[in-house]
Amino acid sequence: MKAKEGTCILWAALDNGLYIPNLCAVREIKPPFASCRLCFVEIEGRNAPVTACTEPVNDGMVVNLNTSKIKRLRNTAFELLLSHHHLDCAHCDKNRNCELQNIASHLGLKLKPKRFKRIPRELPIDSSHTLFTYDPNKCVICGKCVWVCQKQGSGILDFAYRGIDTVVSTFSGMPLSDAGCTSCLACVAVCPVGALVAKLGVGPIFLPRAGI
């Protein structure tokens, strides 16, 4: 496999047609968020698995993408993530275009795993903006919207609270319509799930530069 020096394992693998599950990675974010914990791989000669989005490739490096340890770690991270996610694919605008569905299919997992108790959030949905809706109950805290909102110059989205209570929010949780949003819709374009979705009638959304 060929890769530019300094590239992380994740991008090297994806650029060479090898899929590694990932939700929070963006090429331009350095250092990476590394928050989803889905991209674990094992490197020969290392004691512990590493996240592919944080580990640069090296000449001669041997990387295993699918050992039993990796599967266990990935599946656990994914199932924990789903235990908070509002699952209603049939009525979700992102149905069939959702990264959670893609990852579940890649890992051979169900979207309603039974291993962990489900503790879905019940936070208010923000429909105040004329062009899009934000449903925090579907957010996977990947941080892409926070990053792109800052990159586009608005910077109205950020993380609030910690741990299991972490949410993406405007300052003081004010409605999106009052928060100074410039309506670029970049957050909608980068959201990998159904948390930020365009309202009916809003045409296709393109980012000025993908980087994702």
User: Contact positions toward ligand FES, by CB under 6 A?
Assistant: 22-25, 34-39, 51, 53
- Cβ proximity to ligand FES: between 37 and 151 the closer is 37
Other beta carbons within 10 Å of 45: 7
H-helix or E-strand spanning residue 133 = strand 132-134
- Cβ proximity to ligand FES: between 34 and 179 the closer is 34
Q: Closest distance between ligand FES and the C-beta of residue 145, in Å?
A: 15
- Cβ proximity to ligand FES: between 141 and 188 the closer is 141
- Cβ proximity to ligand FES: between 11 and 134 the closer is 11
- Cβ proximity to ligand FES: between 100 and 176 the closer is 100
Q: Closest distance between ligand FES and the C-beta of residue 10, in Å?
A: 6
- In this structure, is the dihedral angle defined by the CA atoms of residues 114, 159, 106 and 85, taken in order, positive or negative? positive
Helix 99-107 and helix 68-84: axis angle, to 10°? Answer: 150
Q: Closest distance between ligand FES and the C-beta of residue 176, in Å?
A: 26
185: left (phi over 0), alpha (psi -120 to 50) or beta: left
Q: Closest distance between ligand FES and the C-beta of residue 22, in Å?
A: 3
Per DSSP, the residues of 135-163 read -GGG-----HHHHHHHHTT----EEES-G
Residues 6+ apart with CB under 8 A from 74: 21, 38, 40, 107
- Cβ proximity to ligand FES: between 38 and 179 the closer is 38
Residues 201 and 149: their CA atoms lie apart, in Å, by 22
Q: Closest distance between ligand FES and the C-beta of residue 50, in Å?
A: 10
Residue 116 token pair: 């962990």
Q: Closest distance between ligand FES and the C-beta of residue 51, in Å?
A: 4
Contact 138, 86 (CB under 8 A): yes
